[in-house]
Structure 1
Amino acid sequence: MSDAERHAQGMRTRREVLGDAHVDRAEARKDDFTADFQDMITRYAWGEIWSRPGLDRRTRSCITLTAMVAGGHLDELAMHVRAAVRNGLTHEEIKEVLLQTAIYCGVPAANSAFAVAQRVLGELERPAGVTGVE
């Protein structure tokens, strides 16, 4: 596969997993400084790894959630909680993944992850236009 084909595949996968709105925001923020990085993650992370046939996207989401907790990447965790829901994980399954991380990544990391996931899942349950702030 050429780099252009890998980029196209990556962009399709990225949009399917993260949603058009997220990808469009990331693309709009891209500039000369970040363009090479965005191209690299689109080709490699999304065009190569997330597009491989060896694992389904639900499993990849479980692994990715765990990696985000282990690394303390809470902003990325929020994005990947949304992606996990898009990939078909239920709230209960996300909870089980986070419980598992408490054992292997530590209780403080899981505590922070639960707070992020609770916020994101709550946002996903609210009707559009409702902020939850009164």
Structure 2
Amino acid sequence: MSGPELDGPRRNGVVQPGATSQEIYDGGMKVRREVLGAAHVDRANASKDSFTEDFQDMITRIAWGGIWTRPGISRQMRSAVTITAMVAHGHWEELAMHIRAAITNGLSRDEIKEILLQTAIYCGVPSANTAFKTAQQVFHSMDNEAMETAEMDDES
């Protein structure tokens, strides 16, 4: 497969020939913060210790630096694929995090609903049932956060 978006120096995102491990890490951390939010990433980094530090480094470099920086598909498409994978494998906490990320990446609630309907067919109705409940809880939480922020803005 080729084309202007897959040829040339941007083909591999931040994983370019000669890229240092630090450059890949920094590129991954930038995308990770943009997609998941700085507060989430800061919490993950604050809770790392000598046991989890290598894992956090690995996901920043490989998942976020190596994959999420690639230009071949949009962040919306990456979110759709990730949501489907979380449903297929029953990773509900990760699903909640990636539903929030999908909103950040520009997917609408209706688009997320359609993705979850698709998962009912290919991942199973029981998994989709849990996924819908998870999404409903995420949206409820997001709505509450928005109302609290609006109330605080009104008070100031």
**Which of the five TM-score ranges fits, normalised by the shorter chain?**
over 0.9
Of 94, 118, 122, the residue aligned with 1:76 is: 94
What are the Cα deviations for residues 55-94 of structure 1, in whole angstroms up to 9, with x where unaligned? 1100000000000000000000000000000000100000
Deviation at 1:129?
Answer: 6.6
Matched residue type, 2:93: D
Matched residue type, 1:57: R
Corresponding position of 1:31:
49
Matched residue type, 1:128: E
Deviation at 1:128?
Answer: 2.9
Question: In 1, Cα distance between the equivalents of 2:149 and 2:20?
Answer: 42
Corresponding position of 1:98:
116
SS at the partner of 1:128?
helix
Corresponding position of 2:137:
119
Corresponding position of 1:4:
22
Question: In 2, Cα distance between the equivalents of 1:110 and 1:93?
Answer: 15
Question: In 1, Cα distance between the equivalents of 2:21 and 2:54?
Answer: 13
Moved over 2 A (4+): none
1:108 equivalent in alignment to 2:126:
yes
Corresponding position of 1:47:
65
* Seq. identity, %: 62
Question: In 2, Cα distance between the equivalents of 1:128 and 1:61?
Answer: 27
Corresponding position of 2:11:
none
SS at the partner of 2:103?
helix
Deviation at 1:122?
Answer: 1.2
Deviation at 1:125?
Answer: 1.5
What are the Cα deviations for residues 22-74 of structure 1, in whole angstroms up to 9, with x where unaligned? 00000000100000000000000000100000011000000000000000000
1:128 equivalent in alignment to 2:148:
yes
Larger Rg: 2
Provide structure 1 residue ranges, at least 5 long, that are not aligned to the other structure: none
TM-score (ref. length: structure 1): 0.95
Question: In 1, Cα distance between the equivalents of 2:22 and 2:45?
Answer: 17
Question: In 2, Cα distance between the equivalents of 1:122 and 1:85?
Answer: 13
Corresponding position of 1:86:
104
